[in-house]
Amino acid sequence: MAKLPLGAQTLFIGIDGGGTKCRASIMTEDLQVLGTGVGGPANPFQGVQQAKDSIRTAAELALIDAGLPISGMGELIAGAGLAGVNVPSLFDVMSAWDHPFKEMHLTTDLHIACLGAHNSDEGAVMICGTGSCGYSFVNNQPLFIGGHGFPIGDKGSGAWMGLEAIQAVLLASDDLGPRTIMSESIGDFLQAKGMMIVDKMFGARQGDYAKFAIFVVDAADEGDAVAINIVKEGAAYMSGVARKLWATSPGRMSIIGGLAPRLIPWMDKDMADNLSPVLYQPEFGAVYFAKQALKAAKNNNDPLSATL
């Protein structure tokens, strides 16, 4: 196997695997990023083989970006946080994978997001992007809130807002609901109205609905009553999540995701004021987790026992 041309230092790869994409970054022990690659969906709940392929693709692209040989993947120590492995059977399947790395230390995507956000073993994090959920890790105890998946869950998320917006626009088109400026913005985006919107959205997925969230928050900022109601409901839910997480005394609490900056002003002020900026991205949290796992292994501890 080809050696990585960087001397005797240990190289890590942090893997953040979600339902939309997988992001991997190769780092030195002191967290200097050498290269980053992005692959496809890596939530094994949506397909185990797809998750494995996406991880491998992201790792290969990270090696190329770092100017390192792909054949040296077997020298990397991986920390991997994947969506879906909070389901015990999927954790077992991914743990049993004959992966291409020297070592792979597995946990959930929420855990690495939390570790990265606070650069610490403890903290709380909320995700408000395409989906939504909350997580805290305090005194070696994890707490998961939400994350039930779209469309039955993920309230306050971009996908949830998009679905609410489409429903409101269709009600308005039938004169069964109040008028909203979202009818024009979403209609222009889709180049459709009325039943043509239904036709356009046939078979739409979570990410497709999330594209409409920007129209909702923009309309709310312009004073549109329908949009305001949607945003307020979503913000109230995320405020409730924050309140439950803060009750675990995490020390620090952060919110991440593309929708987060637009939703924070609508959240309960006391919870918004308790939010701290993210220190590092999830890939850094994955490497942090891998380094902690190596330290625990030297002490004959099981580094995974407290992560799920």
Residue 108: strand pairing partners: 82
Structural domains of the chain in order of their starting residue, each with its CATH number? 12-119+279-298 (3.30.420.40), 158-272 (3.30.420.40)
| Spatial separation of the C-alpha atoms in residues 23 and 14, rounded to whole Å | 8
Distance CA 282, CA 286 (A): 6
249-253, Cβ contacts within 8 angstroms, sequence gap of 24 or more? 249/138, 250/122, 250/123, 250/124, 250/136, 250/137, 250/138, 251/118, 251/120, 251/122, 251/123, 251/138, 252/117, 252/118, 252/120, 252/123, 252/124, 252/276, 253/123, 253/124, 253/125, 253/126, 253/136
pLDDT beneath 70: ranges in the chain: 1-8, 300-308
Sheet holding 77-82, edge to edge: 33-39, 22-27, 12-17, 77-82, 103-108
> How far is the C-alpha of 171 from the C-alpha of 164, rounded, in Å?
11
* pLDDT digits 0-9 by tens, 27-79: 999 999 999 999 999 999 889 999 999 999 999 999 999 999 999 999 999 99
Q: Could you read off the pLDDT of 185-200 as tens digits, one per residue?
A: 999 999 999 999 999 9
Total-model pTM:
0.85
